[in-house]
Amino acid sequence: MPPSNEIATILVVDDTPANLSLMVEILKPDYRTRIAINGEKALELVFGGDPPDLILLDIMMPGLNGYDVCRRIKERPQTQDIPIIFVSAMGEVEDETRGLDLGGVDYVTKPISPAIVKARIRTHLAVSRQARELVELNQTLERRVAQGVQELERMGRLKRFFSPSVVEMLLSGASDDPLRSHRREVAAVFVDLRGFTAFTETSDPEDVMLALNQYHSAMGELVMAYSGTLEHFAGDGMMIYFNDPVEIENPAAVAVEMAIGMQRRFALLARDWKKRGYPLSMGIGVAQGFATIGAIGYEGRRDYGVIGNVTNMAARLCGEATGGQILISQRVQGFVADKVHTEWIGDMTLKGFHRPVPAFAVLGPMDVTIPTVT
């Protein structure tokens, strides 16, 4: 079916040359015409790879009659939507009914009225064009729905790790696919509860779940507020990264600022938990270094993963931190020395590291005066 601004092609099928000439003359100013003197020639033209937009089909012809031609055209998916108007001297109701039942869209009896024939052609070409446009629109909608479902599924995966603003940016194409393997320097923050194992052994499951939900809710709000990437959380521990998938100017400073905010928020939780008899505190470790980042898993279940010594160092520093303490690596301390008060606490022997690791405790932001112990 051609676009509305193009000339349609009409195939006229009739075994009488005079009828063919008359119909061509009637249609010549408005349409391109092709003719077939019998049913076999009509099928050859229709199935030849350049089908007409509409067919005017006689019924009584030698060989294949009009009904047979219509039936064969409608049997093929490639041609079944071509509108067929029967043009015949057979004027009985049964003749017209049979033609319409076979898939014809209209039935005109001879002798014809040129004005009526042209009006019927215009109507059925318009209907055919609208039907084609509707099919194309439905296909477009189906593709968009499928794309929307895929985007929602991807958004669901990304929201497990990234803040909403980062997810929107990733889906807009403003950043590379964060699940594709790549290497980047990141700041890693490991957060862990102190006394949690003993707490679970002596507390009711309802109390444990309440504490965990409050803990993850409070810490999760800060992760989102600082646009951190939550690599995983399990029970009382969580690992957060900065500088991936979105690179920032000073990831170590942002990581430490979030860690300070976490300890402040946790102090409010601990005050309430103390009344309930929950003897819990929290330690935090922060490190910075290069890591390999990307999707880890198998088909149907892939998670965001970070592999490198920076991950282990943050976890080991967290393990050495006492309740309420933030321990940072020497590299992190170099990036935040002008922003927070720190104190060197010595070279620590950490599991997985052959040499002692210099560690620093974060005492507070520079705008807070730290009392001097004499």
The residues spanned by each domain of the chain are 9-137, 176-365
Q: If you average pLDDT over residues 86-94, what whole number do you get? A: 91
Residue 371's pLDDT is what?
47
DSSP letters spanning 101-147: HTT-SEEEESSP-HHHHHHHHHHHHHHHHHHHHHHHHHHHHHHHHHH
Confidence of residue 143 (pLDDT cuts 50, 70, 90): confident
d(CA 140, CA 347): 63
Q: Are the CB atoms for 57 and 35 separated by under 8 Å?
A: no
d(CA 256, CA 95): 87
By three-state DSSP, how is residue 282 classified?
strand
List, for residues 182-236, the tens digit of each pLDDT value.
889 999 999 999 999 899 888 899 999 999 999 999 998 999 899 888 877 777 8
First to last CA, the chain: 93
Token couple for 141: 């909608």
CATH entry 3.30.70.1230 includes domain 176-365:
yes
Model pTM greater than 0.75? no
- Pairing type for strands 54-57 and 84-88 reads parallel
**Percent of the chain beyond pLDDT 70?**
86
Fold of 9-137: Rossmann fold (3.40.50)
Find, among 345, 307, 306, the residue nearest to 328 by Cα. Answer: 345
List, for residues 229-282, the tens digit of each pLDDT value.
887 777 789 999 999 878 889 999 999 999 999 999 999 999 999 888 888 999
Query: Crossing angle, helix 66-75 and helix 39-46, to 10 degrees?
Result: 20
